[in-house]
Amino acid sequence: MTEVKKLKLVFGNPENGWLPTELKFGDFELNFSASNIPENPINKLCSSLILALNGIESEIIWNLEPQYYIFEFRPRTRDISILISKSEDITEYRNPVYELAGDYESIILPIYRGIKKFNALESDKVDWAKVDQIRLKKLTKLIKERKTT
């Protein structure tokens, strides 16, 4: 029987507008520190999950200053894929790094749990603003609805 790969997403303690981020999926591991400029990527991640749960493609851009990681969320009928690319400039060519795919339990839930754990961290507003609570509540509602179906 094939072992199901499960994504792991961990956010460290933010400092001075930088968020240590660790993503693991099977043998693939990606570690980076993302900037909260021009926008908070955690809020964008919440929005991308909301869209994915509604079957809509989206992307999140992690600003590494000066480079970027781009996560393209591509929901399909029974699963979702995330294409991770790296770029020197948002408008330039995107260099594919890795594509991961899985179902709701192996992709969506682990990202949601990572956001919830990050939201529970105590951090100075100067270092990083709290997750948009309206967005997080909307995401939580969709997750709960999905669990009951």
All domains of the chain, ordered by start, with CATH? 7-109+120-148 (3.30.2450)
CB-count burial class (<10 Å; 0-12, 13-18, 19+) for 74: middle
Residue 20: partners with Cβ closer than 8 Å, 6 or more residues away: 11, 12, 13, 14, 31, 32, 33
Mean pLDDT of the chain: 92
Q: How many CB atoms lie within 10 A of CB 91?
A: 6
Mean predicted confidence (pLDDT) in 133-143: 96
50, 142 in Cβ contact below 8 A? yes
Residue holding tokens 């709290």? 130
Q: What CA–CA distance (Å, rounded) separates 102 from 114?
A: 17
The structure's pTM equals 0.92
Report the percent of the chain where pLDDT is more than 90. Answer: 79
pLDDT band (50, 70, 90) for residue 60: very high
Q: Alpha-carbon dihedral of residues 109, 48, 23, 83, nearest 10 degrees?
A: 110
* Res 1: pLDDT: 46
